[in-house]
Structure 1
Amino acid sequence: MASASLIPDDPTVLLTIAGMLPFKPIFLGQQKPPALRVTTAQKCIRTNDIENVGRTARHHTFFEMLGNFSFGDYFKQQAISWAWELSTQVFALNPANLVVSVFDEDNEAADIWENIIGVSPKRIIRMGASDNFWAAGPTGPCGPCSEIYYDFTPHLGDDNINLEDDTRFIEFYNLVFMESNRDANGHLTPLATKNIDTGMGLERMAQILQKKSNNYETDLIYPLVEKAAKLAKIDYMYADEKSKASLKIIGDHCRAIIHLVSDGVTASNLGRGYILRRLLRRVVRHGRLVGINKPFLVTIGKASIELMVKTYPQLNIRKQTILNELEREEARFLGTLERGEKLLAELIESNSKYISGEQAFELYDTYGFPLELTQEITEENGLTVDVAGFESAMNAQRQRAKEAKINIDVTVQSVIDKIADNIEGTKFYGYHALEYSSRIIALIVNGEVVQEASEDDVVGLVLDATPFYGESGGQVGDRGTITGLPSDKRNLKIAIDSVFHCRGLFVHSGRIQAGKVRIGDSVRAQVDYRLRRKVQAHHTATHLLQAALKKLIDSSITQAGSLVDFDHLRFDFHYSDHIPVDKLNDIENLINDWIAESHLLEVSQMKLEQAKAKGAIAMFGEKYGAEVRVIDVPGLSMELCGGTHVTNTGEIGLFKIISEAGVASGIRRIEAIAGTAVLPYLNERDTLTKELGDQLKVPVHQLVTRIETLQEELKATNKSLTLARSALVSSQAMALISNVENVNDFQILVASLNEVEASLLQTAAKELQEKLGDNSAICLGSVSESGKVNFVAVFGKNVVNIGQHAGKFVGSIAKICGGGGGGRPSIAQAGGRDKESFEHALQIAKQELMSFLNLTYCK
């Protein structure tokens, strides 16, 4: 089987982290295997020990896991025999270089290795459960492991073999014998069907076969390391260890990056996107560390694609998308990197022990520094980062920016998982019928399977057949009613407000408005036709929107996600640039032309490969079966889609774009409405513009001109207020000159100007310093209306010349108020949260300035 995507069909992990992950549902008994014997070369990504990448011989973020799997076919003896045959005959490894480990209780495996394979007992090492026993979780399938190690120095002998010595041994092949099931009490019982799961690291085998000292110098990675070294104008073989580590990191991370983007990940600050952005920015930074000061990600990206495209042809299909993402992210990062590095350098210089969480968050939020990057740089300089403080600031931002999310009823999901194996799946007839007589095969109330439910109960009904579409593919589920059959005298009515399907079962959720239902009852399921028509119009319009974008904007545009609802549609797509209003108008007009032309839709079922050969567009990353449903608007659009659609584009009626915006790096979103949803939208805006015209006392067609005039007037008023405020603060600052203390040849002024914003506080301090001259030291503080504390320090050049540093000084003062900050030797500002400590902080500031000048403080 081909490698699965790095985006797994598993909600418990962000990325595919092991070769067996795509088969986890099979091992857990949730799916049937595609065959009894399977082999794969699976691309994987792990970032849990990213700090070791480039520093050890064998740590990577991206790696390829070679695996052979048996689902109830061959077992322990064959797996061991074939692993030995592959290692010693196919790869021609000398048996004298091989050592094996077994679970210390697995006498069967030890016996096979010794008496059938012929391995010396001294080279069969028994190990505990932490090393040689695999489990999918606390309960479920599990079993012992046996691993094959390569011994680089067999001449050291067989006595006292220590497999933890990774300078001598490397584990390259792991055999898992899945033979038991562990229950909630920890008891093991034999599995009826025993499975084999093996994994061999391609990079490690390459190191062994190519006789290299580390994985990075094999032909899998070294061409990228060499390319990076050439860009840096250094010779890898003669570089110092720090530079070598940076070059290895570039080579490793670039392999991960191209595959992540190829599989549909775009850089962002969340989830998989955050992992990609972190890797990209580490590459840029390590490039700078070895002297690559110009943009280079596209160059190294091309080299990475060329190196791996024969094995992964998808890289060539997605090549331009990959390179666009690299170019865009590098430009974004370089734009802030220099400023961020400068600020971090100042923070490191002004802090002797640690960087505060607030400072680390500012670097993350303003300059795009991932926390790990800040930690990496600060640790290189002997400092630590307040991670708890960073998380606190991050959580506060998440709370502020929290968006409404769809709540998934995990209780119902778990119940469905329990009953799915015992009942037949639901047959869906909703493409051709909006009413259907069905039988109730399961009832769920309050997360429990029940036999009956009564009036006012909120119930989940599983039917043996249904006309209701279950939420999937971005389309919402149908709404409607479930009633008794006409011949049934019971007055049953259930209002269905949502439908979803899981493991082949359609769950209809709603409240029983009248009557009572039992498992086995026959009912009439009726879809709300008015709502179905609305969602059909929006779904077909979504297909036309993608076709118009490809035709008028960029033929390489691909879908990143969608929502098809009753009252609107949302379409996310991979594209980096803002689409101007005139282009949006062109798109809108083209789609309305297609609607007016009344194109008939053709719906067909065919083999997946046949559909792709005909040019049908698939949603990248979506899982498709062998048979697919194709929605074809001849000459305009052909997509794989399981949703409901109009039969003729003329049924859509009208299409209107509402908005276009960026939602993540490299992803744009268009929201639109179609059909009967357009008229309420236009009526609302018509009413709104008339009301605005009445309030502003101008005709509707003059609204824009009137608003522009008001904006100019407001801008002028604000400018006047700012000037007045600045003059007032300047006047207050000059009044403080009477508080200046003369200390020999120097003048010190430490004072407060309350409720003055930071920018005006800095202006006031600069004016005072200029007034008092080169021998002056000014420190001003302010507490804003919101309670935030601000400090500014401005030192004359003679104060700086004798060793005082405004950045370090003001940063230490701000710490008293629970904050921090920094800046240049002559001028700096800082902030804090604890206004109760404000006066005390100013006193300390005055004392420190006096102490620095070696004077006695006099009140």
Structure 2
Amino acid sequence: MLSQQIRTKFLQYFKDKGHTIVSSSSVIPHDDPTILFINAGMNQFKDVFLGKNERGYTKATTCQKCIRVGGKHNDLDNVGHTSRHLTFFEMLGNFSFGDYFKAQAIQYAWEVSTTVFGFDAEKIWATVFEEDDEAFELWKAYLPEKRIVRMGEKDNFWSMGDTGPCGPCSELLFDRGPSYGRAFSPLEDPDGERFLEFWNLVFMQFNRDASLKQHPLPKKSIDTGAGLERIVSLKLGVDSVFEIDIFQAFIAEVARLCNKPYRKEDPQLAPAYHVIADHVRSLSFAIADGAQPSNTERGYILRKLLRRAVRYGRILGLQKPFLADMLPCLIDTMGSDYKELVESQTRIADILSLEEETFLRTLKRGGNILNTIIDQTKTSSSKQISGKNAFKLKDTYGFPLEEILLIAKDNGLKVDLDAYLVLENQAKIRSKAAQTIHFPQKENDVFKEYIKHHPTTGFLGYTQTEAEAAIIGILIDGKFVEEIKEGQNGHILLDKTPFYPEKGGQVGDTGSLTHKEAHFKVTHCHSPFPGIIAHLGKLEKGCLLLGEPLSAQVDKQKRQEIANNHTATHLLHWALQKVVGAHIRQAGSLVAEDHLRFDFNHHKALSKEEIRQIERLIQEKIREGQRVQTYEISFEKAQKDPDIKQFFGDKYAAIVRVVDIDYSKELCGGTHAENVSTIGSFRIVKESSIASGVRRIEAYTRVKAEEWIYEQEDRLEKAATLLKSSPLQLVEKTQNLIEENKILHTEIKALKSSQLKQLTQTLLTKVQYVGSIPFMAQIVDTEELNALSEQIAQALSSYVVILAHTTKERCQVMVRVSKDLSQKGILASSLIKEIVPIISGGGGGKKESAQAGGKNPEGLLQAFEQVQKWLLQNA
């Protein structure tokens, strides 16, 4: 394919020029919380541009997977409605990290454009930042001055986001000719229809901080980006990126699935093919790299993409899940260049199918109201979905506002946002009024001020559980004091401590601080501010003064159990990746002395066999008894080691601590067992969902795990005793009881049916007439009022039937009215209203059937008489 050829030739050109070919990074920015998705080739080199990191090369070239569907670069609304916007695309790029700058970058770009891309030199234009005279002069070596255009900051000053590396840029544009517009210059073509941008050369000179100030970078660098899909479309001379080889394969597959021919000129259906083809690529690559749809952040973006694709599929008549059926085509087309698609095919298919099925259920539930709203709005003069209807779609049927806006746009409609926001704000006010919120006391400001004038606390806990220390701070009720007296609660700060403060999911140590006769019980240890370790507790005896020496003693047994569980958590993470897949990422944890909890990203529940396989792997490693090593290395070195797990989104110092168990390596600051064997035993006691796409495992180790097994055995014994069986025969005994129960249930059902028939025949003899109306009102000895009244109704052609059942303090009433009488105005709902006040109850119903419950069974006969009076007066 031409796309593959250009990708290969581009990388080879720069390799021949001394550049290192660097593989595309994941589309998930694991070490950059400022963006949701990788949106440019330079993202993976951000720290290099900032001078925080160095690579073994100063020049690089990549073909980077990019997703632009959030934040500054958000093309979602345009996809399907324009000829060139995509949410997923491949970005060709070359980079210099302090090696070459503008002159060389411009030369390379010209040579690649005219040789590798094969573009007609007469049709190439360049734009430069209006203040960049140097770039303007450099381009004059390749282009006539009339085809070099100065542009403002909006067009020719590039930044990755609101903050980060940035600099002036020079864009290359291709003149597609007068058939694409009458503009004679890019200045006259703001939409870029005739003069289509195909390459952006960024002269990276600055770093923009949070205050939007620009600081010079340590080294002037080059960052370029050329969209592969756009280049191929220009090479082929087609109107749209959706006409290139890759997309034509996807579109043909969509046409096969929906059995409708694709016509690019069809304004109604063509966008549906485009949206599906684009969104399937974005979803598949994101899932392959470890993301998945959810209700938050990037997961929410993916869910929005998937739902938009599904809605467009319905336009093409695809009523059943179809996205996973697109995968084989995607893998045939791009799998040879992106192996992660092949390796993750099953997982991608599972997640797409699960999410699509869930959304189809949502559409089924709210689809009728949604379609009605859209149809009504289309016929209105305003062509605007009311705020009331938009809020109803969100509040009742779970359609997020962004999705409603997309649905509206896709149908040529608008949304009354002002009215919507009023309703949403009213709902928030009601929600706040319904709950009482208790905010914990905030002491951060106190500690922040304290640390300015006092030393930090030294941590000794990796090697010690006891230490001699000195008091450097006493905090009581949010204020620093000189002493703490017997019976008072407070925080004690020490110059050094063996106590581990709660962080990273590990609970804090407990123990005691003692000095002569004074004894302070430490009930919690935490780090309320960087550099501070606070011992929270109560002085049970004596008095402690600021500056006094004391002995700090950690509860050793509890510390050991915590350490065992923390090491077990690392083993669990390792085993999950082995059994479930390499995509498993920790999403939270709790390490306590009596249990451990591990949250991870996965799209479905673990099977019983998977859980047992995980347990077997961990038990095997416990028996091996591997020594647990810890050491410190530079964060830069850790980043280069693919075997070391890092918790992306966490901020690490320049020097990090590695917990190394040979087969499991993680960056971790917690305390650990010295040998895996001290974990003793490991049992998973619960696996559950805590959020969309996030699972939780709870487990026990050592004695707690053994006690849990004994508890299960005790339950088994108790169940066997109750069923007069033994544990070994319990399954067979239970199966026999189930079969017996089924037989008895059938017999009881038949008996009840027979009794109802007999009762029906008896009651039919009780029918009397109120005027000309067949009437029955009886108190019966059965709760099956609905079934009984139905049988009576089948035996009569015209009727008013009232049945009641009573207990000591309650009664239930059923009213049925034949259709012929309801058409004359005798309604079951009207009759029940006559009954309700008399029986002190409540109820309601429809024309032909109504029910009520009451607290005054003794009033039933009076109620029956009242109904008869009503019938005589109104019939």
TM-score tier, shorter chain, comes to 0.5 to 0.7
Q: Indicate the residue corresponding to 1:533 in structure 2.
A: 560
Which residue identity lines up with residue 79 of structure 2 in the other structure?
Answer: V
Shift of 1:60: 1.4
Shift of 1:278: 1.8
Tell me, what secondary structure is at the counterpart of 2:32?
coil
Larger mean CA deviation between 71-80 and 149-158 belongs to: 149-158
Picking from 13, 38, 59, the partner of 1:16 is 38
Change (3 A) 1:42 1:494: farther
Change (3 A) 1:722 1:409: farther
Shift of 1:241: 2.2
User: After the TM superposition, which residues 213-224 of structure 1 pair with which residues of structure 2 at under 5 Å, given as runs?
Assistant: 213-224=239-250
Distance, in Å, in 1 between the alignment partners of 2:346 and 2:208 is 48
- The question of 1:645 aligning with 2:672 is answered yes
Q: Which string of whole-angstrom CA distances, capped at 9 and with x for unpartnered residues, describes residues 545-588 of structure 1? A: 4577688x867783543413224322234555555789868977
Distance, in Å, in 1 between the alignment partners of 2:436 and 2:559 is 27
Picking from 175, 178, 181, the partner of 1:151 is 175
Q: Conserved in 1, the CA contact under 8 Å of 2:391 and 2:420?
A: no
Q: Indicate the residue corresponding to 1:284 in structure 2.
A: 310
Larger mean CA deviation between 535-544 and 584-593 belongs to: 584-593
Q: Which string of whole-angstrom CA distances, capped at 9 and with x for unpartnered residues, describes residues 339-373 of structure 1? A: 43223223445677665667556645765544444
- The question of 1:563 aligning with 2:584 is answered no
Q: Which string of whole-angstrom CA distances, capped at 9 and with x for unpartnered residues, describes residues 766-812 of structure 1? A: x67946555879998999xxxxxx999989xxxxxxxxxxxxxxxxx
Q: Which string of whole-angstrom CA distances, capped at 9 and with x for unpartnered residues, describes residues 487-536 of structure 1? A: xx9x999979566799xx8664557996668xxx9999986644432222
Q: Conserved in 2, the CA contact under 8 Å of 1:147 and 1:174?
A: yes
Q: Indicate the residue corresponding to 1:123 in structure 2.
A: 148
Distance, in Å, in 2 between the alignment partners of 1:445 and 1:222 is 69
Q: Conserved in 2, the CA contact under 8 Å of 1:172 and 1:204?
A: yes
Distance, in Å, in 1 between the alignment partners of 2:341 and 2:498 is 41
Q: Indicate the residue corresponding to 1:854 in structure 2.
A: none
Shift of 1:214: 1.2
Distance, in Å, in 2 between the alignment partners of 1:493 and 1:37 is 60
Shift of 1:103: 2.2
- The question of 1:96 aligning with 2:122 is answered yes
Distance, in Å, in 2 between the alignment partners of 1:188 and 1:576 is 42
Which residue identity lines up with residue 151 of structure 2 in the other structure?
Answer: R
Q: Conserved in 1, the CA contact under 8 Å of 2:32 and 2:649?
A: no
- The question of 1:388 aligning with 2:409 is answered no
Which residue identity lines up with residue 126 of structure 1 in the other structure?
Answer: M
Shift of 1:665: 4.0
Shift of 1:257: 0.4
Change (3 A) 1:95 1:583: closer
Picking from 665, 671, 683, the partner of 2:698 is 671
Change (3 A) 1:341 1:432: same
- The question of 1:542 aligning with 2:560 is answered no
Q: Which string of whole-angstrom CA distances, capped at 9 and with x for unpartnered residues, describes residues 137-160 of structure 1? A: 778865433222221128979568
Distance, in Å, in 1 between the alignment partners of 2:372 and 2:34 is 40
Tell me, what secondary structure is at the counterpart of 1:13?
coil
Picking from 286, 291, 314, the partner of 1:265 is 291
Q: Conserved in 1, the CA contact under 8 Å of 2:474 and 2:482?
A: no
Tell me, what secondary structure is at the counterpart of 1:60?
coil
Distance, in Å, in 2 between the alignment partners of 1:410 and 1:151 is 63
Tell me, what secondary structure is at the counterpart of 1:146?
strand
Shift of 1:254: 0.5
- The question of 1:251 aligning with 2:277 is answered yes
Q: Indicate the residue corresponding to 1:32 in structure 2.
A: 53
Q: Indicate the residue corresponding to 2:750 in structure 1.
A: none
Tell me, what secondary structure is at the counterpart of 2:125?
strand
Change (3 A) 1:400 1:602: farther
Which residue identity lines up with residue 67 of structure 2 in the other structure?
Answer: C
Q: Conserved in 2, the CA contact under 8 Å of 1:228 and 1:300?
A: yes
Which residue identity lines up with residue 698 of structure 2 in the other structure?
Answer: E
- The question of 1:275 aligning with 2:298 is answered no
Tell me, what secondary structure is at the counterpart of 1:20?
helix
Larger mean CA deviation between 338-347 and 272-281 belongs to: 338-347
Q: Conserved in 1, the CA contact under 8 Å of 2:183 and 2:189?
A: no
TM-score (norm 1): 0.65
Q: Indicate the residue corresponding to 2:202 in structure 1.
A: 176
Distance, in Å, in 2 between the alignment partners of 1:340 and 1:81 is 57
Q: Indicate the residue corresponding to 1:661 in structure 2.
A: 688
CA-atom RMSD, angstroms?
A: 6.5
Shift of 1:247: 0.4
Which residue identity lines up with residue 44 of structure 1 in the other structure?
Answer: I
Change (3 A) 1:302 1:403: farther
The count of aligned residue pairs is: 729
Q: Which string of whole-angstrom CA distances, capped at 9 and with x for unpartnered residues, describes residues 1-42 of structure 1? A: 33333332233333333333444455556x234354444324
Which residue identity lines up with residue 79 of structure 1 in the other structure?
Answer: A
Picking from 321, 326, 335, the partner of 1:309 is 335
Distance, in Å, in 2 between the alignment partners of 1:445 and 1:139 is 39
Shift of 1:293: 3.1
Distance, in Å, in 1 between the alignment partners of 2:436 and 2:713 is 29
User: After the TM superposition, which residues 698-777 of structure 1 pair with which residues of structure 2 at under 5 Å, given as runs?
Assistant: 770=819, 772-773=821-822
Distance, in Å, in 2 between the alignment partners of 1:432 and 1:342 is 66
Shift of 1:56: 0.2
Change (3 A) 1:584 1:80: closer
Q: Conserved in 2, the CA contact under 8 Å of 1:769 and 1:776?
A: no
Change (3 A) 1:71 1:499: farther
Change (3 A) 1:15 1:92: same
Distance, in Å, in 1 between the alignment partners of 2:550 and 2:97 is 41
Shift of 1:629: 4.8
Change (3 A) 1:193 1:778: farther
Picking from 240, 254, 278, the partner of 1:228 is 254
Picking from 16, 23, 36, the partner of 1:2 is 23
Distance, in Å, in 2 between the alignment partners of 1:725 and 1:445 is 69
Which residue identity lines up with residue 236 of structure 2 in the other structure?
Answer: Q
In terms of Rg, which structure is larger?
Answer: 2
Q: Conserved in 2, the CA contact under 8 Å of 1:569 and 1:673?
A: yes
Shift of 1:62: 1.4
Q: Conserved in 1, the CA contact under 8 Å of 2:507 and 2:590?
A: no
Picking from 205, 208, 218, the partner of 2:234 is 208
Q: Conserved in 2, the CA contact under 8 Å of 1:476 and 1:564?
A: yes
Distance, in Å, in 1 between the alignment partners of 2:458 and 2:276 is 52
Shift of 1:57: 1.0
Q: Conserved in 1, the CA contact under 8 Å of 2:67 and 2:88?
A: yes
Q: Conserved in 2, the CA contact under 8 Å of 1:468 and 1:499?
A: no
Q: Indicate the residue corresponding to 1:133 in structure 2.
A: 157
Change (3 A) 1:471 1:306: farther
Distance, in Å, in 2 between the alignment partners of 1:171 and 1:278 is 28
Distance, in Å, in 1 between the alignment partners of 2:323 and 2:193 is 33
Q: Conserved in 2, the CA contact under 8 Å of 1:499 and 1:506?
A: no
Distance, in Å, in 1 between the alignment partners of 2:609 and 2:339 is 37
Unaligned runs of 5+ in 1: 447-451, 690-700, 709-719, 729-759, 784-789, 796-826, 828-859
Picking from 289, 297, 319, the partner of 2:323 is 297
Change (3 A) 1:63 1:549: closer
Change (3 A) 1:319 1:585: closer
Which residue identity lines up with residue 506 of structure 2 in the other structure?
Answer: V
Distance, in Å, in 2 between the alignment partners of 1:52 and 1:213 is 16
